[in-house]
Amino acid sequence: MTSEKARNDDAEQPEQPETDDAPAAPADAEATDAAESEEVDEVSALKAQLAERTADLQRLQAEYLNYKRRVERDRDLVREGATANSLTALLPVLDDIDRARDHGELEGGFKAVAESLERAVGALGLERFGKPGEEFDPRVHEALMHDYADDVDTVTAQTILQVGYRVGERILRPARVSVVEPAPVDAPVTPQQPDETAAATDADAADADAADTAEE
């Protein structure tokens, strides 16, 4: 009875699977290293692509900013040119107003219109320049007359014949002026010393005598 129970117990126990004698750890380590290396390479490639795309975006942004600045600068130049051309056409009218003011004819409604026009062109940036006594500057002055004076140290705009106008740094018309400059100083003549004069006279006489002797 006991023998049969022992045989039944042996029959109920599962068979143990056979295992390989060689260890599997080294193969697993090599596979892990290969996977890690592949992952590092993939990360490096992604970082390189990201850096390249970032550089492209930065370059495009810089090009866009430069383009925007050029467009704004060109727009400003066109606007300034149009304003300057319009104001230049009004300069003869402003000259007539100045002449009327100088002759005391700027009165009544004409005075109000003239002052309104001057305020309007001033709001557009028109500025008049040219004052008697300022130093002559060929960049903003046009000399129509010239003279000398003892009371100036440099070339000076003595009289403003016609005022100049500008918008910002753009000269619409130079100021037409008469200029004076310091009077020229004649170079002093150094008198000849008596001894030198006498020596020169004796030498000339000796040369003359020698020439007469040679002719005889």
- The answer to the question of residue 92 being in a domain is yes
Asked if residue 194 belongs to a domain, the reply is no
Tell me, yes or no, whether 47 and 110 share the same domain: yes
Q: Residue 187: pLDDT band by 50, 70, 90 thresholds?
A: very low
Are 155 and 168 part of one and the same domain?
yes
Q: Please tell me whether the overall predicted TM-score, pTM, comes out greater than 0.75 for this model.
A: no
Task: Examine the domain organization and report whether 175 and 113 are in the same domain.
Answer: no
149 and 118 housed in the same domain? no
- 100 belongs to a structural domain: yes
Evaluate whether residue 73 is within a structural domain.
yes
197-216 mean pLDDT: 50
DSSP the chain: -HHHHHHHHHHHSPPPPP--SS-SHHHHHHHHHHHHHHHHHHHHHHHHHHHHHHHHHHHHHHHHHHHHHHHHHHHHHHHHHHHHHHHHHHHHHHHHHHHHHHTT---HHHHHHHHHHHHHHHHTTEEEE--TTSBP-TTTEEEEEEEEESS-SS-EEEEEEE-EEEETTEEEEPEEEEEEEEPPPPPPPPPPPHHHHHHHHHHHHHHHHHHHHHH-
Residue 7 included in any domain: no
- Residues 81-103, mean pLDDT to the nearest whole number: 93
Q: Does residue 21 lie in a domain region?
A: no
Clarify whether residues 176 and 141 are in a common domain: yes
- Indicate whether 73 and 55 sit together in one domain: yes
Could you tell me if residue 54 is inside a domain?
yes
pLDDT band of residue 174 (cuts 50, 70, 90) is: very high
When pLDDT is averaged across residues 40-69 and rounded to a whole number, the result is: 88
- Same domain? For 48 and 107 the reply is yes
Number of independent structural domains in the chain: 2
* 112 in the same domain as 47: yes
The better pLDDT of the pair 179, 10 is held by 179
Whether the CB-CB separation of 159 and 193 falls below 8 Å is answered with: no
Residues 112 and 156 in one domain: no
Q: What is the pLDDT of residues 20-34, one digit of tens each?
A: 555 555 566 667 777
Q: What is the mean pLDDT of residues 80-93?
A: 93
Domain extent, residue 157, equals 127-185
- Do 54 and 107 lie in one domain? The reply is yes
Residues 49, 120, single domain; the answer is yes
Q: What is the CATH number of the domain that holds 154?
A: 2.30.22.10
Q: Is the per-residue pLDDT at 177 higher than 50?
A: yes
Q: Is the dihedral of CA 25, 31, 34, 35 positive or negative?
A: negative
CA dihedral (3, 9, 10, 14) in degrees, to 10, reads 170
73 and 117 in a common domain: yes
Give domain status of residue 24, yes or no.
Answer: no
Pick the range with the lowest mean pLDDT from 108-112, 136-140, 150-154, 203-207.
203-207
